[in-house]
Amino acid sequence: MSHAVAIDIGGTFTDLVAFNRAGERVVYTKSPTTYGDFAEGILDCFRKAGIALSDVDLIHHGTTLVINTLIQRSAGRTALVTTRGFRDVLEIARGNRPAPLDLYYQRDEPLIARDFRFEVSERIGSDGTVIEPLDLSELSALAEHLRETSIESVALFFLNSYVNPTHEELAVQHLRQGLPGVFITASTELSREWYEYERTSTVCANAYVGPQVIAYMHHLEERLKAEGFQGTLHMMGSNGGVLSVERTCRQPIALVESGPVGGAIGAGIYASALGFSNAISFDMGGTTAKCTLVEDGRFSVDSVYYVDDYVKGFPIKSPVIEIQEVGSGGGSIAWLDAQNRLHVGPQSAGSSPGPACYGRGGEQPTVTDANLVLGRLNADNFLGGELHLEVDAARAALARIAQPLGYVGEEGLIRMAAGVVAIATVIMAGVIRRISIDHGRDPRDFALIAYGGGGPLHACSLARELAIPMVIIPVEPGNFSAVGMTLAEARVDDVRTFSSRLGEAAISAMDAIYNKMETDGAAALERDFQSPVARFERHVEMRYVGQRHNIKVLVASGADAAQIRHAFERQYKSRYGHADAKAAVEIQALHLSAFARIDHPDIGRLARPHSDTAIAARKVHFDTASGAIETRVYQRSALPVGFSAEGPAVIEEYGSTTLVWPGDRFEIGPLFEIRVHCNVTKGQSHAA
Amino acid sequence: MPHDRHSSAARTIDPITLEVIGHGLTSITDQIDANISRTAFSPYIYEYKDYAVAITTATGELITTSTGGMPVFVADAVGMAVKDGLATYGRARLHPGDVIVCNHAGVQGQHLNNTVMYTPIFARAGAGAGAGAGAGAGAGAGAGDRDVGVDKDDGDDETAAVELIGFFAINVHWIDIGGTAVGAISFRTEDIFMEGLQLRTVKLWSKGEPVEDMYRVIENNTRFPQELMGDIAAQLGGCLLGRDLVAALANKYGVQSFFDVIEAIFDKSEAAVRKTIRAIPDGVYEAEAFLDNDGVTEMRIPIKVRVVIEDDEITVDYSDMAPQVGSCINSGRYGGGRTTARLAFKYLIAGDENANEGTYRPLKLILPDGTILSASDDAAMALYPIPFPTVIDTFIRALEGALPERVTAAHFGTYSSFRLLGKRPDGSTFSCTDSGHGGWGACATHDGAGPFRTMAHGDSHIIPAELQEALYPIRIESFALRPDSGGAGQYRGGLGIVKQYRILAPCKLFANFDRVDCPPWGIRGGLGGRPGQVTVVRSDGATEVFYKSEGLALEPGDRICVETGGGGGYGEPALREASLIERDLIRGYISQENAQRDYGVRAHSGARVAM
């Protein structure tokens, strides 16, 4: 009897999902994240689940280690080596000020300070020719210096290496020999696209996190082995696929969004399994809400990701599932500014002290407090009753902002609570609208797949705001990121800069490169997963000549220039509303994704065992005009497939609560998902 | 309920409805902003974000503008054009589906490339819940209306009574609109008529139909019809979609709620700003600086700013501003005088508030006709923002005594633009335009930042060297921070950059560096930063340093070293922490000679020195 397991280490909890391959049961456990030694929390989850590691053949693992190391700047000594004349590229960055009217604006400090950035003589031209050979004696002297200064990790960047990486490769080899035990990484191992700042920034981030990730991987493998684990460990990559441990140790930066992508993958697989070609995933946690667009089972994958956001942070050229995020979660604080304007977030009470109703000393009202006052949350059944919520504390906190706004008495307090939720809803609807409109899509054509602790609670309000008719709450919304990780495929991505006008002449050159990329991709999958390639996907990055912004177009293998142009125009038009049949089109980059299948659990068997629980009822505020309405309260595990009922309803389960509005109807679908048919045509106000 | 002396709206509007609608409006401009950035053809738009998206009231007052655009546009890039349209047509002749364009210098007071396109927004008269008294107010059919979709752009499908509620407007830098120079940008123009086609308030669309004659006029008055028409399509698409989104919002909550909310937004922004101004000691504050010259003659251009703080109002007095000049660095009363005053005010005083008409109510302007910031309608304006960074710097300097903790030292303050124009070996022409990023001034809490572009710029990116080398016959030999360029102080000024080019094909060099004779000053005892310069080293070793150039001929093998200015320091250098001086030495931000001269310290013998 063996298990496939996913482990998701979050900021507060380590989640585990274990799926018994015999299909008999699925186990969910949670344990506090153990910062001193993350492996402790993982092993604790296995103990709680009652699963022996010798009974586990596959582990998919997501972790926030990489992003935390980058944000907290907690790594050891890292150096950068560049072409002579270019060590400051990292610090100068792109010279832009995303906060244009902030007189005091400054960017985050560079990851590697100027005195740890070094230059060597070498030069490649923009056409790939060697203008000046790499000076190995300089490099040896530098290696000596790096050894003396106890450098743990070295990033290498040479100008124009995207056309000809041989100098970088030679330097890597040379430094590895000269600096045994030091992590050495070069820009072209991570990205073959032009733009020196982006490549430098990426390789520095990779070098920065390298030693910690390697240490973690070795430690974790050792601990798991000691407990009898003989299976395979895969790491969750930001591109939505899993990586081998070996690749993780070379490209740790590929784990930058290792955690949040799990839920998005799960949502994509659910959408496909349920036959929804268009879906938006919506993940609402304690501090943020995140959404992703899924079309025909595919995610949009961004090729640049900003650590600590675009405004102050730095870019990483690594494929990351496009996730739009906004600072609105259950812990988001409602506050008044000097002009008594009401704001919700982005500051969050987090998990400590948490919302006022947690009774841990939080005094400021949060979205969770507002939901509790409205009767939408059950004070006695939050996290399965593990945390009792204090309604009086929530009311007192809300009263603090209600009074200055003139909301008095019981009715005023309810209106205040409804207002806090309404503003959070508008903010979250904004991010969903943004991701769909950015792609030229209308959110009403999508199903909303909601999870995270707060997703199911707000999904039907959001659906009203956005006029989305269908809401899906998958199994285990509170652990859904881990659920998604169990379902992830193996995926390897590759990108090459390829600048050429679209035409038959370009096609043969393009195909030659793609063929090489496919060979490389298949070999990588074979090496990393001992698994044959299941499929390739080609995305060609294109634009009209003269434009600076590219779009990625899915292109079939063997497509000719006319077919590619047609695909480009169709996508361009759907995204921007217009296309130009006459304008010349150029190719900028070639993306290849190679996938291999990994034996994953049957998603029809992910629900917890059935239990019988009595149906209760309580008063819940929906629309403020109607006052509190007597509402049925169901326990989710008691609802069988095919169950159907009218709203209003509250469906409770461990880690989440689903709110079904009056006028809505819900049913339990074939994958144990809750399907809510939202009554959006009446256009109920969201502000309730 | 909040109490406000200015408006009855603020007393009746529900605070939650206020935030919900306010947030909705801001997110609409940001959405359209993102779409423009992606759909535009010209690099001005994508790389420099040389455009702004805004919503105005039915009288042309700014409600909100997209965040992250060019600062010169934040002050209100569209209001004057809309007001000119209202004066020209009257409300009666502005119909659903009309789209109007205006780039007229007499109206907007900026170069003719800046073209405002706007369309009236109509909503159902009397629709919705009226005064919006409750949190659940505004129950209309809004959310279910299909007209919020992105696929529809016809605005005149209303059969019920409609009411003009505002305008959706987008100001875009059109890539070329004729004139004597490509892109209409050169020092050599003498009046506005040399700079291209003026379109004063003309309809591009009428009642939902394109005015083909106008498209033909535009298409045949630009050197780059394909690019321009592409940009215009993007601008148009943004106007129409934005209009529909605002109309849907107003329909959902009702026009009366919509109007009340906007009044309340203005009032609250105004109250917040008045409170900030009241905290500034009353007084008359002055400062002056100058530009080296106007790019054609050698005459200095004095920039004198007087700021009067009186209770909760602020007056910017430009009475002693330099008269308009013969070259093209003039701007008009609205595009120059009012824009710089609003911009400086926003930077130093009203930074936290989203720009709207209310924010600017406490700001008064004294501006005689005929100055470099209030030039006549026929004055040349191709390079109109050239004085802006210095004007803003001078405003901040004026308030040194009034706001000692808030002021910053001067930034490098000049466009430092740099361009190579020539032919490739295959005979094709190339134009390599580079941006001048330099150091910013230090402030009371930290060293000067940068290198960034000037205060007139925003989110514009440095062009990558790898891109330049692939596109142009040049080789970039180094791109580095410029040590010692930042002024010393308790907090040091930001550093400029050094960029070295090797020329691989014959070309001509155009450059515009200013603030050399009036270098970036320090403040509160801080020292000044170094000005920028351009050095040409010929292949025979001959060297020449200059600041402005209109076509210096270069040959293969010549090298150019472009150095941009640094920012000024804040506070006495003697107050700088020793650890920061040591850090600067170790990192090579300052040389040992400068450390000794400015701070009187010598590097520790054991200090690591960068290779």
- Range B31-52 average pLDDT: 76
Q: How confident is the model at residue A382 (pLDDT cuts 50, 70, 90)?
A: confident
- Range A231-252 average pLDDT: 94
Q: Which two tokens stand for residue B229?
A: 């028409």
Distances (CA, A) of A18 to A451, A486, A487, A637: 19, 9, 12, 18
Any bridge partners for residue A589, and if so which? A497, A541
The answer, yes or no, to whether residue A461 has pLDDT greater than 90, is: yes
Report pLDDT digits (tens) over A612-638. 777 899 999 998 778 899 999 999 999
The answer, yes or no, to whether residue B605 has pLDDT greater than 80, is: no
Which residue did the predictor score with more confidence, A606 or B140?
A: A606
Tell whether B495 lies on the interface with A, counting CB pairs under 8 A.
no
If phi > 0 it is left, if psi is from -120 to 50 it is alpha, else beta; for residue A673 that is beta
- Structure-token match 């934040």, residue found: B74
Q: Report the percent of chain A where pLDDT is more than 70.
A: 98
Tell whether A580 lies on the interface with B, counting CB pairs under 8 A.
yes
| Residue B274: HSE in the Cβ half-sphere, 13 Å Cα cutoff | 15
For residue A245, the model assigns a pLDDT of 95
CB neighbour list of residue B171: distance below 8 Å, 6 or more residues apart: B51, B52, B54, B73, B77, B78, B81, B114, B115, B116, B117
- Structure-token match 């430098």, residue found: A200
**List of chain A residues whose C-beta atoms are within 8 Å of the C-beta of residue B610:** 114-115, 117-118
CB neighbour list of residue A454: distance below 8 Å, 6 or more residues apart: A284, A285, A286, A289, A329, A330, A367, A368, A656
- Range B464-468 average pLDDT: 93
**List of chain A residues whose C-beta atoms are within 8 Å of the C-beta of residue B505:** none
Tell whether B458 lies on the interface with A, counting CB pairs under 8 A.
yes
Q: How confident is the model at residue A439 (pLDDT cuts 50, 70, 90)?
A: confident
Measure in Å the smallest separation between the Cα of A187 and chain B Cα atoms: 14
Number of CB atoms found within 10 A of residue A54's CB:
12
* Lowest mean pLDDT across A97-111, A418-432, B117-131: B117-131
User: Could you tell me the pTM of the whole model?
Assistant: 0.90
Report pLDDT digits (tens) over B237-246. 999 999 999 9
For residue B409, the model assigns a pLDDT of 98
The closest CB to that of A433, out of B31, B69, B71, belongs to B31
Q: Give the three-class secondary structure for A292.
A: strand
| Nearest of A75, A218, A219, A216 to residue A154 by alpha carbon | A75
How far, in Å, CA of A203 to CA of A307, rounded?
13
Does the N-terminal peptide bond of residue A648 adopt cis geometry, omega within 30 degrees of 0?
A: yes
For residue A442, the model assigns a pLDDT of 80
Q: Is the ipTM of this complex over 0.95?
A: no
Measure in Å the smallest separation between the Cα of B381 and chain A Cα atoms: 24
- Structure-token match 């592409």, residue found: B230
A576/B35 touch (CB, cutoff 8 Å), yes or no: yes
**List of chain B residues whose C-beta atoms are within 8 Å of the C-beta of residue A341:** 15, 18-19, 268
For residue A334, the model assigns a pLDDT of 97
Tell whether A504 lies on the interface with B, counting CB pairs under 8 A.
no
Measure in Å the smallest separation between the Cα of B63 and chain A Cα atoms: 17
A106/B446 touch (CB, cutoff 8 Å), yes or no: yes
**List of chain A residues whose C-beta atoms are within 8 Å of the C-beta of residue B479:** 85-86, 88-89, 92
- Range A92-101 average pLDDT: 91
Residue A600 sits at φ, ψ, to 5 deg, of: -120, 165
The closest CB to that of B23, out of A88, A427, A688, belongs to A427
Across A262-359, the runs of DSSP E, i.e. the strands, are 278-284, 289-295, 298-299, 301-302, 305-307, 314-316, 320-321, 324-326, 332-336, 342-348
Q: What is the DSSP string of A496-557?
A: EEEEEESSHHHHHHHHHHHHHHHHHHHHHHHHHHS----EEEEEEEEEETT-S--EEEEE-T
Tell whether B389 lies on the interface with A, counting CB pairs under 8 A.
no
Q: Which two tokens stand for residue A498?
A: 């390829």
For residue A577, the model assigns a pLDDT of 65
Nearest Cα residue in chain A from B342: A101
Tell whether A193 lies on the interface with B, counting CB pairs under 8 A.
no
Q: Which domains does chain A have, with CATH numbers?
A: 72-214 (3.40.1360), 332-423 (no CATH), 491-596 (3.30.1490)
| Nearest of B365, B338, B253, B409 to residue B79 by alpha carbon | B338
| Nearest of B135, B112, B131 to residue B380 by alpha carbon | B112
A547/B46 touch (CB, cutoff 8 Å), yes or no: yes
The answer, yes or no, to whether residue B532 has pLDDT greater than 70, is: yes
The answer, yes or no, to whether residue A480 has pLDDT greater than 60, is: yes
The answer, yes or no, to whether residue A682 has pLDDT greater than 60, is: no
Distances (CA, A) of A151 to A113, A117, A146, B605: 13, 12, 6, 22
Q: Which helix (DSSP H) or strand (DSSP E) does residue A646 occupy? A: strand A644-646
For residue B40, the model assigns a pLDDT of 74
Sheet of A490-501: strands edge to edge? Answer: A26-32, A13-20, A3-9, A56-63, A232-236, A242-244, A490-501, A585-596, A535-544, A551-555
The answer, yes or no, to whether residue B84 has pLDDT greater than 90, is: yes
Q: How confident is the model at residue B160 (pLDDT cuts 50, 70, 90)?
A: low
**List of chain B residues whose C-beta atoms are within 8 Å of the C-beta of residue A81:** none
Q: Which two tokens stand for residue B232?
A: 């215009």
The dihedral formed by the CA atoms of A159, A164, A169 and A174, expressed in degrees to the nearest 10: -60
Terminal C-alpha separation, chain A: 51
Contact of A539 with A589, CB cutoff 8 Å: no
Residues in B 406-425 with any Cβ partner in A closer than 8 A: 408
**Residue B386: alpha-carbon gap to chain centroid:** 11
Q: Report the percent of chain B where pLDDT is more than 70.
A: 89
Q: Which two tokens stand for residue A218?
A: 């070795």
What rounded mean pLDDT belongs to chain B? 88
Measure in Å the smallest separation between the Cα of A373 and chain B Cα atoms: 16
A422/B16 touch (CB, cutoff 8 Å), yes or no: yes
Distances (CA, A) of A17 to A30, A31, A140, A270, A641: 9, 12, 49, 17, 22
Q: How confident is the model at residue B46 (pLDDT cuts 50, 70, 90)?
A: low
The answer, yes or no, to whether residue B121 has pLDDT greater than 80, is: yes
Q: How confident is the model at residue B130 (pLDDT cuts 50, 70, 90)?
A: very low
**List of chain B residues whose C-beta atoms are within 8 Å of the C-beta of residue A688:** 135-136
- Structure-token match 């140790």, residue found: A249
Which residue did the predictor score with more confidence, B85 or B149?
A: B85
Nearest Cα residue in chain B from A121: B477
Q: Which two tokens stand for residue B580?
A: 């920061």
Residues in A 47-106 with any Cβ partner in B closer than 8 A: 84-89, 91-106
Q: Which of A142, A144, A685 to mutate to test the interface with B (most CBs of B within 10 A)?
A: A685
Angle A674-A677-A678 from CA coordinates, rounded to 5°? 120
Contact of A240 with A261, CB cutoff 8 Å: yes
Report pLDDT digits (tens) over A564-605. 999 999 888 777 666 778 889 999 999 999 999 887 788 888
Q: Cα dihedral sign for A173, A174, A180, A181?
A: negative
| Nearest of B361, B359, B364 to residue B346 by alpha carbon | B359
For residue A531, the model assigns a pLDDT of 86
How far, in Å, CA of A471 to CA of A460, rounded?
7
Q: Which of B23, B342, B466, B469 to mutate to test the interface with A (most CBs of A within 10 A)?
A: B466
- How many contacts (CB atoms, under 8 Å) link A and B? 272
How far, in Å, CA of B509 to CA of A559, rounded?
45
**List of chain B residues whose C-beta atoms are within 8 Å of the C-beta of residue A686:** 20, 143
How far, in Å, CA of A197 to CA of A187, rounded?
11
The answer, yes or no, to whether residue B157 has pLDDT greater than 60, is: no
The answer, yes or no, to whether residue A94 has pLDDT greater than 70, is: yes
The answer, yes or no, to whether residue B395 has pLDDT greater than 90, is: yes
How far, in Å, CA of A255 to CA of A245, rounded?
11
Q: Which two tokens stand for residue B456?
A: 């007139």
Q: How confident is the model at residue B153 (pLDDT cuts 50, 70, 90)?
A: very low
Report pLDDT digits (tens) over B281-302. 999 999 999 999 998 889 999 9
Tell whether B351 lies on the interface with A, counting CB pairs under 8 A.
yes
A198-201 own/partner pairs: CB under 8 Å, 24+ apart: A198/A304, A198/A315, A198/A317, A199/A157, A199/A161, A199/A162, A199/A317, A200/A80, A200/A82, A200/A86, A200/A89, A200/A90, A200/A155, A200/A157, A201/A90, A201/A93, A201/A111, A201/A314, A201/A315, A201/A316, A201/A317
The answer, yes or no, to whether residue B139 has pLDDT greater than 70, is: no
Q: Which of A81, A101, A337, A578 to mutate to test the interface with B (most CBs of B within 10 A)?
A: A101
Nearest Cα residue in chain B from A93: B462
Nearest Cα residue in chain A from B466: A195
Sheet of B533-537: strands edge to edge? Answer: B474-481, B497-503, B559-563, B533-537, B543-546
For residue A196, the model assigns a pLDDT of 97
| Nearest of A174, A191, A223 to residue A61 by alpha carbon | A223
User: Would you give the DSSP letter of residue A116?
Assistant: G
Measure in Å the smallest separation between the Cα of A116 and chain B Cα atoms: 8
**Residue A102: alpha-carbon gap to chain centroid:** 29
Measure in Å the smallest separation between the Cα of B25 and chain A Cα atoms: 11
How far, in Å, CA of A213 to CA of A247, rounded?
11
- Range B97-119 average pLDDT: 96
Number of CB atoms found within 10 A of residue A386's CB:
10
Tell whether B136 lies on the interface with A, counting CB pairs under 8 A.
yes
Nearest Cα residue in chain B from A545: B41
How far, in Å, CA of B282 to CA of B403, rounded?
11
Q: Which two tokens stand for residue A168?
A: 């970088």
A437/B461 touch (CB, cutoff 8 Å), yes or no: no
For residue B47, the model assigns a pLDDT of 63
* Lowest mean pLDDT across A13-22, B144-153, B519-528: B144-153
If phi > 0 it is left, if psi is from -120 to 50 it is alpha, else beta; for residue B413 that is left
Q: Which of B30, B39, B353 to mutate to test the interface with A (most CBs of A within 10 A)?
A: B39
B138/A101 touch (CB, cutoff 8 Å), yes or no: no
Tell whether B450 lies on the interface with A, counting CB pairs under 8 A.
yes
Q: How confident is the model at residue B43 (pLDDT cuts 50, 70, 90)?
A: low
Nearest Cα residue in chain A from B438: A95
The total number of residues written for chain A in this structure: 688
Residue A176 sits at φ, ψ, to 5 deg, of: -65, -40
Which residue did the predictor score with more confidence, A384 or A622?
A: A622
The answer, yes or no, to whether residue B211 has pLDDT greater than 90, is: yes
Q: Give the three-class secondary structure for B503.
A: strand
Q: Which of A431, A547, A551, A578 to mutate to test the interface with B (most CBs of B within 10 A)?
A: A547
Q: Quick one: chain A helix, strand, coil %, rounded to 5?
A: 35, 30, 35
Tell whether A422 lies on the interface with B, counting CB pairs under 8 A.
yes
Q: Which two tokens stand for residue A669?
A: 């679908």
What rounded mean pLDDT belongs to chain A? 91
**List of chain A residues whose C-beta atoms are within 8 Å of the C-beta of residue B442:** none
**List of chain B residues whose C-beta atoms are within 8 Å of the C-beta of residue A107:** 449
Measure in Å the smallest separation between the Cα of B448 and chain A Cα atoms: 8
Report pLDDT digits (tens) over B288-347. 999 999 988 899 999 999 999 999 999 999 999 999 999 999 999 999 999 999 999 999
Q: Report the percent of chain B where pLDDT is more than 90.
A: 70
Q: Give the three-class secondary structure for B321.
A: coil
